[in-house]
C-alpha cells in the first residue's frame, strides 16, 4: 500500500481548493439560504479560529460576535489580540462585539462557543434555554448525561440524544440544544480507535502518551520559560479527560430502565485507557504514541490496521459535510512521519495522520498519531458537528418572523 | 494612515486566490502557450520551493528536473527528502530526475537554478552557452559585470544588460543568458530602500542588523545544537554580500569608456552599508532592524516614510507579473509587528513587511523589516524575474524545430 | 592577542571555585561579621536569583524574605514557584515569608529589592525612610536626580551622591538610601562603552540592536505562542530606557549652581544612542549588535579596541568585591562568538563577552556583546553594588541595640 | 514522604562541591597514585564531555587524546569544535591530539572511548588486544556475549564476566578488556526498573515512550529544520536497542553447559519491553513516560514504588565511586516534575529523576523519568564503570616498567 498522501492531497492548487469538501456543495442543501451564526468567546484563541474557518464557509455566515463586557461595544479588530497567521477577515474586522446574551444573538441559527470553562457553563445554558443551537468547544457539558460529546468523524449518531435533551429541559425546548466536542487530545486518538473498532471489533486497552502543542493551552497560555528547551510532563486534568471521554465517544447509546436513553460508556466491552500527557515546544499539532490491545485473538496485523485506517469513511464524509476532510485518516509509510510541522496543516487540519503502525511487544499494535489541536481538535469539530446537525434537519433556519417569537 | 493589512489581504478566500496576481492573467500574454521550465538542484531546499510555487503557475509548466548524478534516473519522490509543508505536487512526483546537462533540458524555455554554489558555476555557464535562459538563485554570477542582479520589485530595468551579456559571450549568444537574484537578506532590505530612494532621493548610509531564519541555510543546514536557545552572531560571507549587493541593485547602469554599459554601484551618490548578520531560532522569515540616513536635509518624517513605502509600486506589478505581490511593502501600524511567525506567509511571502518606522537618534529613520527568505528572498524572486523577462520578450518559446538546433 | 577565554576561566575546577573573587576574602573586611540581608520580592524571578546567589555569599547572609501579603506567613518553598535550575537553598527553604514592611526587616543591614515596578516605588521609599540601605533592581528610582544608577563595573563612583540623597531626605537620613542598578540591556552595553571611553575618550554615537532573552520579562512573562519560531521586534519602554540610562551611567557628576551635585548625562560630550530591542527565543543572555563612533579622529583600530576591552579593570575588581568577575570583558577571537547558550554562564554571568570586533562602514567600530541578563544584568549588579557600598563604609552593621532605635 | 530534592542537594555551595562523592576520597584507594587515562574520539560530543568531567577527577588524569588522522598532530583546541558550556580545561587545551593507536596510549591505565560506531569496532578491539582497559560508550560490543553492558547504578556485578572475556581472547589477555555502557535511553529507565525489581521482584512488561534531547544525536546531529516547532517520532535503531539492552542489563549471569558463564537476558522471568522513541526540541535530558506491570499480585502501590525508588542505593555508591550520585533516584512530589530544563543538571546529571508515580489503568504503575543523556546516559556511566573496575582491582596502575613490556 502506498502512502495515501498523494491520494489525499493532489498538488498545491488542489490543496488550496480542498478547504471545503465538494461532495455536498451549498446548492444541495434542502434550503439554499445561508445559516447565520454567532460566535461566543470570539476574541479568544478558539474564537479567532472559528472566525478564520467560517469566513469563507459555504453555508454559514458570521452574524454576531460575543465576548466579555470589557470588549462589548467595540469593533472586533480593536479588542481581539489577533494571533492568527492570516489577517482578520474583512467581514468581521469592524463588526461590533456584543455581550454574550441570547438577545444579542437572536438572529443566529447556530451558536459556536469558544468560551472559557469558567464562563461557558452559565452562558451556554442561557443560550440553550433561549432556543438557540449551541455547538461548544468548552468542557462544561461534556459529562452531562443528555449532551452528546461528538467527534464528528466518529460518533455523529450520538446527535440522536438531542430530542431527549430538549424534552427533559424545563421548560421543554423546541429547537435549543447543546452539542459538545471533545478535548483536543481525545479527539485525535478517538478517530483511529473508532476506525479499528469498526473493522476489528472491541479494543480492550489503550496506553497513550501525548506530546501536546502549546496552542492547546490558549493565549497567553504556556509561559515560554516553561517550554523552551523543555518538556512539561503534566497537563492539569488532561489525562482524566482522555480516559473518560474516549469511553463516552466510542460507546453506544442504550435504553435504560426508565425509558430514557443513556450513553453506555463502552459497556458492551470494557475498555481501559491510560493516558500520559506532556507539553512540548510545538506550536500546533498534538503527537500521540498509542499502544492498543484488541479483544479479538489473534489481533489484526499492522498491515491490516493500516488498511482499515486508510479505508475509514465517517458519516460526516458520506453525508457531505463541507468541512469534513477527504480522508479521515492519512496513513504514512515513511518511517519518521507524521511530524507536526510537516503534516498538521494537511486538509486544513480536519483529518488526522497516522504512521509507524507496528507490533507492540506488550499489547498488540502501536502507532503514532498526529492531530491538529486547533482544527479537528477544536473549532473544526464544532463546525462539522453543526454541518451534521444541519444536514440531519436539527437546525432550523431563523427567519425574521422567528425573531418576533423571541 | 491605517494599517495596510486590510487593503492588502482581504479575507481568507481572497488570500488563497491571491497567489497569482490577476492583473495580467495568462490570456494577455502575446502568445498564450505555456513556457516549459526546468529546475536545476530540484531535490534541494530551493528546488523544492521552486516546485511548490510552479506547480500551479499560470504560464510556466515544469518539464524537467535536474539533480546530481546520484539522483538521476530515479523518480523525484524517491530522491527528494521532501521537507515542504504541502505534499509533493502530483505533476512531479513520479517525474524522472535527470543530470544537469543542457541536452536533458533542451525543451525548456526557462531554467530555474537552485544549485549550490559549488556546482552552479560550471553548470549554469554550460546552460547559457547552450542558449538556455537561466534564472539563478546561486551567488556565483552575482558579481559578474554583465550579469544582472535583479530584485524583481526593485531593478527590473537591469535586465537591459542582457543583450550585452549575449554579445560578449564567446561565441555570441542569441537567446541564452543568466539572470541572478540576490541574497535573501539583501533582497528584503533592498525593497524598502528602493522605495525610499524613489521618493526622497539618495540614501547615504544604512546600518542593518539581521535576525535570520534557519531555512536560509538550506537542509540539513544549521545544527539544532547551534540554534535552540541560542543566537549565532555570524553567518559566513553574509555581511559582505549584503554590503556589496545592495550597491549593485540600487545603483544604475552607465555607459563606460569602451562603449560598454556597466553597473555603477550607486556611484551617483556614495552609499555606505554596514550589516551585522545573526542566525536565530526561526524557521522562515528574516527580520532586519534598519537605520538609515538620507542625503536630503531635512530628512523625511517617519510618516512620510510610511506613506512612501505603502505607495511603492514596482514595475513587476505594473507590468502584471502573476507572482508579484499586490503590495510590495505592507506597512504595519501595530507597535510589535512585523513578526516572522505571524506575517511571513502573507501574499505567499512575495512582498515584505515593514513596521516600527520611527526616528533614529543617530541616523535619520529606523524601522523593522520582515522578508520571507524562502519566497521573495529566493525562489519567488527568480520566478518573477522570469515573468519579467517573458513580458519583455527576452524569453523565446522553445518549439520542436529549435530542439534540432541544439 | 589570543582569546582571553583561557586566561579567564581555567579548568572546570577553577570555574567552579571562581564564583567568588578571592582577591578580597571575607577576612579582609574591617569587620569580619556577616551582614544580614533581606530580599524584597523574594518569590519572583529576580528574588529567586538573589536567593540563589546569596546562599553561599561570603559576607551576606539571608535574614528575611519579603513578598506580597498573599504569600506572607507561609514557608518560602510553599509560595515560591521555584524556577531556578538549582534547588531551593536549605537555608531559606522553610523560612517564613513576611510582608514588605521595614519592621519585618529591621535586623537587616542590606535590603535587596526584586520588586515589580508597581510595588517598588512606595515600598523602597518606606524602607529608605526607615534607615535601611536598599539596593534595587526596579526601575522606579533610576531617573531620580539623587539616586545613583550604578552598573558596578562602570560607575561605582556615583555612590558618592548618597550623602546628598540622605541629607535632602525629609527628615534627613543617617544610614538609609536607595541605590539602583540599570536595565539588563543597558548594563551589558555600558561595560564595553565605559572601557572604550576610558581608553579612547568620548563616544559620540551608538546604534544598538538587541536580541533579548525571555527571562528578561520575568515569569510568566513572554507567552510561548509569542516567541517560539518567532522574533518580537518590540519590548515596551526598553529602547527609551537604554537611550536614557546609558547617558546617566557613562556621564559624570557635576556641581550645579545651588551647591548641589548633579548627574551630567554625559554632557561633557554629547552622546547619541539609538536602540532597537527585540525578543528572541533564548532563555538567558542578551545578545547586542553595537556600532559606535568615537569623537577621536582617527578612531582606534579593531585590535586596539579588543585590547582595551580585555584590559579593562573596574574598581569593583580592584577593591575586591567577591562577586565581581575576574574579567569584566571576555574578548572572543572566534568568528562566531559570543553565543548565549555557550557563553552566558562563564564567571557565573558576572562579566560580559564581546566578539566580532571589526570596522563599521558607517560609524567606526562594530561588535557583538553578550550579557547575562539575570546575573550582571540584574541580581549580580545589585549584589556587587552592595559589596562596593560595604567596602566604602556606607553600610553599617546592624546590631541588636540598633533594633531598639527602630 | 517529602520530595527528596532537599535531602539530595543542599544549597548551592553543596551542589557545587558535590561533583565528586566524598565517601571515598582519593586517599582511600589502596594506591594513592592517579590513574592516567586516554580518551578516544576526544574531539566529538562524547569526547568533549569526557574531558569536561575528567578535568577535575580525583583519581583520573588525562594523559592522551585520540582522534582521527585529520586532527592528529594538532593542539586540541584547534581541532575540537568545542561546544560545551564551560571552557576547554587548561590541562588539555594545548595537548597534541594523537591517532587512535595503542602505542600512542601505552602509558594509560584506562581508555575511555567516545568513538563513533563506524570506528569503534576495530579500534577498541586493537586497544583491548594491546592489554588496555577500555570503557566504551559505543554500541559495537554491547551485544557481545562476553562483554558486560553495565549501567553502573544497576549491574556492576556484570563486571565479573571480564576474566572470561580475557581468557577467551586469542591470545588470552592479562589486563585488557572492553566494558560497555548502555544507550542513553536504556540507561535512564534501567535504574528505576532495577530499583523496583530489587524491592518487588520481577517486572513482566514495560511500555516506554521517550522524548529525547537533541544532544543524544551528537554534533552536528539533528538539523534544526527537523526539530524546531516539531517532534520527530522516530530515532533509527533506538527502540530495538532499548527493547534488547534492558534485558541484558536487568538479567543475571548463569553458568551454561560448556562451563562458560552467559548473560541470561532476564530469563528467570520473561520481561516484555515496548519502546516508542521520539526526538523533541530539548538540548539535554531524555524524558520517558513509563508504564509497568509487576509479576507480583497485588502489585505495589504508588507510594511503595516511590519509597523503593528513593531508597535505592546501588553498589557504586556503597563502594564509594567518586562520580556516583548521592541519590541514584530523586523522587519528585510536585505534579509537574521532573522537567529536563530544571532537573537535568542536579548531581551533575549522575542520577535520574522520577515523578508522577501513579496507577496505570492498563498495567500497574506509571511514572515519568528524566535522565541526563550526556551524563549518566553517556560519559558519566563510562567513568563510574571505570571507578568500579578500579575499586574491584581490575585496573592495574601502569608504571614505566610496564611500558617496556608493550
- The domain limits of chain B are 20-183+380-405, 185-373
Residue C370 pLDDT level (bands cut at 50, 70, 90): very high
Residue A3 pLDDT level (bands cut at 50, 70, 90): very low
Query: C147: which 3 cell numbers?
Result: 539616586
Contact A291 D278 (CB under 8 A): no
Contact A231 D340 (CB under 8 A): yes
**Region for C157 from its dihedrals, namely left if φ exceeds 0, alpha if ψ lies in -120 to 50, beta otherwise:** alpha
Segment A144-150 mean pLDDT: 97
Contact A224 C219 (CB under 8 A): no
Contact C228 A226 (CB under 8 A): no
Contact D83 C229 (CB under 8 A): no
**Which one-letter DSSP state was computed for residue D26?**
G
Contact B228 D83 (CB under 8 A): no
Contact A87 B8 (CB under 8 A): yes
Identify the contact set of chain A against chain C, taking CB-CB distances under 8 A.
83, 214-215, 219-229, 281, 283
Per residue of chain D (406 residues), what is the pLDDT tens digit?
Answer: 333 333 332 333 333 334 565 554 443 554 545 899 999 999 999 999 999 999 999 999 999 999 999 999 999 999 999 999 999 999 999 999 999 999 999 999 999 999 999 999 999 999 999 999 999 999 999 999 999 999 999 999 999 999 999 999 999 999 999 999 999 999 999 999 999 999 999 999 999 999 999 999 999 999 999 999 999 999 999 999 999 999 999 999 998 777 899 999 999 899 999 999 999 999 999 999 999 999 999 999 999 999 999 999 998 999 999 999 999 999 999 999 999 999 999 999 999 999 999 999 999 999 999 999 999 999 999 999 999 999 999 998 765 344 433 3
Chain B CB contacts of C211 below 8 Å? 211, 231, 278, 280
Query: C310: which 3 cell numbers?
Result: 580585555
- Which positions of C are catalytic? 184, 286
Contact C362 B287 (CB under 8 A): no
Compute the C-alpha angle D399/D401/D406, nearest 5°: 95
CATH of domain A21-182+380-405: 3.40.50.720
Chain C CB contacts of D15 below 8 Å? 86-87
pLDDT at A30 over 90: no
Chain D CB contacts of A283 below 8 Å? 229
Contact C206 B289 (CB under 8 A): no
Segment C112-136 mean pLDDT: 97
Contact D283 C87 (CB under 8 A): no
Count of alpha carbons within 13 Å of D394, Cβ hemisphere only? 27
- Which positions of D are catalytic? 184, 286
Chain D CB contacts of C13 below 8 Å? 55-56
Count how many residues are written for chain A.
Answer: 406
Helix (H, G, I), strand (E, B), or coil: what is residue B21? Answer: coil
Cβ neighbours, 10 Å, residue A163: 14
Residue C405 pLDDT level (bands cut at 50, 70, 90): very low
Choose among B206, B234, B338: nearest Cβ to C356: B234
Contact A225 C281 (CB under 8 A): no
Contact B272 C361 (CB under 8 A): yes
pLDDT at A259 over 90: no
- Please give the class, per CATH, of domain C20-183+380-405: alpha beta
Q: What is the ipTM of this complex?
A: 0.91
Choose among C83, C215, C220: nearest Cβ to A220: C220
Identify the contact set of chain B against chain C, taking CB-CB distances under 8 A.
205-207, 209, 211, 226, 228-234, 236, 243, 272-274, 276, 278, 280-283, 287, 289, 291, 335-342, 355-356, 360-363, 366, 368
Strand partners, D241: none
What are the distances in angstroms from CA A246 to CA A205, D120, D366?
A: 11, 49, 20
| Each residue's pLDDT tens digit, D331-351 | 999 999 999 999 999 999 999
**Which one-letter DSSP state was computed for residue A91?**
H
Chain centroid to CA A292 = 23
Identify the contact set of chain C against chain A, taking CB-CB distances under 8 A.
83, 214-215, 219-229, 281, 283
Query: C324: which 3 cell numbers?
Result: 565581581
Can you identify the CATH homologous superfamily of domain C184-373?
Dihydrodipicolinate Reductase; domain 2 (3.30.360.10)
- Range of lowest pLDDT (A21-30, A208-217, A363-372, C77-86): A21-30
Identify the contact set of chain A against chain D, taking CB-CB distances under 8 A.
205-207, 209, 211, 228-234, 236, 243, 272-274, 276, 278, 280-283, 287, 289, 291, 335-342, 355-356, 360-363, 366, 368
Chain B CB contacts of D219 below 8 Å? 223, 225
Contact D19 C16 (CB under 8 A): yes
Q: Considering only alpha carbons, which residue of chain A is nearest residue D207?
A: A362
Cβ neighbours, 10 Å, residue C175: 16
Specify the pLDDT at position A224: 98
Output helix, strand, coil percentages for chain C, rounded to the nearest 5.
Answer: 35, 20, 45
Chain D CB contacts of B281 below 8 Å? 224, 228
| CATH 3.40.50.620 is the classification of domain D20-182+380-405 | no
Nearest alpha-carbon partner for B138 in B232, B263, B46: B46
**Which one-letter DSSP state was computed for residue A336?**
T
Query: D128: which 3 cell numbers?
Result: 583491548
Distance from A187 to chain B by nearest Cα, in Å? 23
Contact A223 C225 (CB under 8 A): no
Specify the pLDDT at position D402: 43
Residue C397 pLDDT level (bands cut at 50, 70, 90): confident
Specify the pLDDT at position D257: 74
Q: Considering only alpha carbons, which residue of chain C is nearest residue A227?
A: C224
Which of A225, A283, A374 has the highest number of chain C CBs within 10 A, making it the mutation to test binding with C? A225
Chain A CB contacts of C227 below 8 Å? 224, 228
Residue D220: is the preceding peptide bond cis (ω within 30°)? yes
Specify the pLDDT at position D404: 31
CB D243 within 8 A of CB A358: no
| Each residue's pLDDT tens digit, A170-208 | 999 999 999 999 999 999 999 999 999 999 999 999 999
Count of alpha carbons within 13 Å of B38, Cβ hemisphere only? 28
| Each residue's pLDDT tens digit, A277-332 | 999 999 999 999 999 999 999 999 999 999 999 999 998 999 999 999 999 999 99
CB C71 within 8 A of CB C98: no
Residue C22 pLDDT level (bands cut at 50, 70, 90): low
Strand partners, D274: D207
Task: For strands D272-279 and D365-371, give the pairing.
Answer: unpaired
Identify the contact set of chain C against chain D, taking CB-CB distances under 8 A.
5-6, 8-16, 19, 52, 55-56, 83-91, 93, 228-229, 283, 341-342, 345-346
Residues of chain B with pLDDT under 70: 1-33, 398-406
What are the distances in angstroms from CA C131 to CA B128, C107, C112, C128, C135?
A: 83, 11, 14, 5, 13
CB D15 within 8 A of CB C86: yes
pLDDT at A392 over 70: yes
What angle do the packed helices D302-311 and D184-200 form, to 10 degrees? 110
- The contacts found for D93-98 with CB under 8 angstroms, 24 or more apart, are D93/C6, D95/D62, D95/D64, D95/D65, D96/D65, D97/D42, D97/D43, D97/D65, D97/D66, D97/D67, D97/D71, D97/D72, D97/D73, D98/D64, D98/D65, D98/D66, D98/D67, D98/D72, D98/D73
Burial class (CB in 10 A: 0-12, 13-18, 19+), D44: buried
Maximum alpha-carbon separation in chain D = 64
> B286, B327, B332, B346: which one is catalytic?
B286
What does the alpha-carbon distance between residue B229 and residue B279 come to, in Å, rounded to a whole number?
12
Which of B81, B225, B342 has the highest number of chain D CBs within 10 A, making it the mutation to test binding with D? B225
Count of alpha carbons within 13 Å of D212, Cβ hemisphere only? 33
What does the alpha-carbon distance between residue C61 and residue C53 come to, in Å, rounded to a whole number?
11
Identify the contact set of chain D against chain A, taking CB-CB distances under 8 A.
205-207, 209, 211, 228-234, 236, 243, 272-274, 276, 278, 280-283, 287, 289, 291, 335-342, 355-356, 360-363, 366, 368
Contact A12 B346 (CB under 8 A): no
Cβ neighbours, 10 Å, residue C143: 14
Specify the pLDDT at position A262: 95
Chain centroid to CA A327 = 16
Helices (H), D216-289: 224-227, 238-250
Choose among C219, C224, C283: nearest Cβ to A214: C224
Determine what percent of chain C is predicted with pLDDT higher than 70.
90
Chain A CB contacts of D273 below 8 Å? 361-362
What angle do the packed helices C184-200 and C302-311 form, to 10 degrees? 110
Distance from B222 to chain D by nearest Cα, in Å? 6
- Which positions of A are catalytic? 184, 286
Choose among B6, B90, B345: nearest Cβ to A10: B90
Contact A9 B86 (CB under 8 A): yes
Q: What is the mean pLDDT of chain A?
A: 91
Specify the pLDDT at position B33: 55
Choose among B273, B282, B355: nearest Cβ to C230: B282
- Please give the class, per CATH, of domain B185-373: alpha beta
Distance from B126 to chain A by nearest Cα, in Å? 32
Amino acid at each position: 500500500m502506498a502512502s495515501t498522501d498523494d491520494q489525499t492531497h493532489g498538488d498545491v492548487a488542489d490543496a488550496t481548493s480542498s478547504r471545503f469538501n465538494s461532495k455536498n456543495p451549498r446548492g444541495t442543501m434542502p434550503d439554499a439560504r445561508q445559516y447565520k451564526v454567532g460566535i461566543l468567546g470570539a476574541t479568544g484563541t478558539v474564537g479567532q479560529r472559528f472566525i478564520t474557518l467560517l469566513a469563507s464557509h459555504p453555508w454559514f455566515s458570521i452574524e454576531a460576535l460575543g465576548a466579555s463586557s470589557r470588549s462589548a461595544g467595540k469593533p472586533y479588530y480593536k479588542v481581539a489580540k489577533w494571533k492568527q497567521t492570516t489577517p482578520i477577515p474583512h467581514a468581521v474586522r469592524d463588526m461590533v462585539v456584543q455581550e454574550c446574551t441570547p438577545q444579542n444573538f437572536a438572529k443566529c441559527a447556530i451558536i459556536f462557543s469558544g468560551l472559557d470553562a469558567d464562563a461557558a457553563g452559565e452562558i451556554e445554558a442561557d443560550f440553550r434555554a433561549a432556543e438557540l443551537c449551541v455547538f461548544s468547544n468548552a468542557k462544561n457539558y461534556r459529562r452531562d448525561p443528555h449532551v452528546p460529546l461528538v467527534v464528528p468523524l466518529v460518533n455523529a449518531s450520538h446527535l440522536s440524544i438531542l430530542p431527549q435533551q430538549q424534552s427533559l429541559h424545563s421548560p421543554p425546548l423546541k429547537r435549543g440544544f447543546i452539542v459538545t466536542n471533545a478535548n483536543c487530545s481525545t479527539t485525535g486518538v478517538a478517530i483511529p480507535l473508532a476506525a479499528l473498532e469498526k473493522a476489528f471489533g472491541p479494543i480492550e486497552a489503550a496506553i497513550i502518551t501525548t506530546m501536546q502543542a502549546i496552542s492547546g493551552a490558549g493565549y497567553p497560555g504556556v509561559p515560554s520559560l516553561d517550554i523552551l528547551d523543555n518538556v512539561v510532563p503534566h497537563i492539569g486534568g488532561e489525562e482524566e479527560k482522555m480516559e473518560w471521554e474516549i469511553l463516552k465517544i466510542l460507546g453506544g447509546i442504550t435504553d435504560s430502565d426508565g425509558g430514557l436513553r443513556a450513553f453506555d460508556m463502552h459497556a458492551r466491552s470494557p475498555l481501559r485507557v491510560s493516558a500520559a500527557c506532556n507539553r512540548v515546544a510545538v506550536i500546533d499539532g498534538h503527537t500521540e504514541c498509542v499502544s492498543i490491545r484488541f479483544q479479538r485473538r489473534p489481533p489484526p496485523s499492522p498491515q491490516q490496521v493500516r488498511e482499515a485506517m486508510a479505508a475509514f469513511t465517517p458519516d460526516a464524509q458520506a453525508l457531505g459535510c463541507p468541512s469534513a476532510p477527504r480522508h479521515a485518516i492519512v496513513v504514512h509509510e515513511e518511517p519518521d512521519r507524521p511530524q507536526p510541522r510537516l503534516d498538521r496543516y494537511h486538509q486544513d487540519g480536519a483529518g488526522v495522520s497516522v504512521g509507524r503502525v507496528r507490533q507492540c511487544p506488550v499489547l498488540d499494535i502501536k502507532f503514532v498519531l498526529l492531530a491538529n489541536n486547533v482544527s479537528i481538535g477544536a473549532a473544526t469539530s464544532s463546525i462539522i458537528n453543526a454541518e451534521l446537525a444541519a444536514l440531519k434537519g436539527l437546525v432550523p433556519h431563523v427567519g425574521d418572523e422567528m425573531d418576533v417569537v423571541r
